[in-house]
Amino acid sequence: MPCEEANHVCDKTQYKDATLWEKIKLNIHLIYCRACREYTKGNTKLTRLFKKSEVECLDSQSKETMKRVFNKALHKQEQQN
């Protein structure tokens, strides 16, 4: 498994999207690749900190409102140019 693929599988694992076979291949890769072990370690730490931080996200309605306002302003800007 190339390092780029290993990092992608690591990311998928953090979001619980990786298959069992991908996890097995990743763990085998991590045995001999120090750079990917460091990437995985940092990724795990970041995920843990994010979950612990109690970050509040915008609700869907607020996101949709922001999107409409942005698109309206963008359209206006494009017409001026």
Using one digit for the tens of pLDDT, what is the confidence trace for 5-43? 999 999 998 888 999 999 999 999 999 999 999 999 999
DSSP one-letter string for the chain = --HHHHHHHHHHHHTT---HHHHHHHHHHHHH-HHHHHHHHHHHHHHHHHHHTT-----HHHHHHHHHHHHHHHHHHHHH-
Whole-structure pTM over 0.75, yes or no? no
Dihedral of alpha carbons 39, 45, 47, 53, sign: negative
Cα of first residue to Cα of last residue in the chain, in angstroms, is 49
Per the CB < 8 A criterion, the answer to whether 25 and 9 are in contact is yes
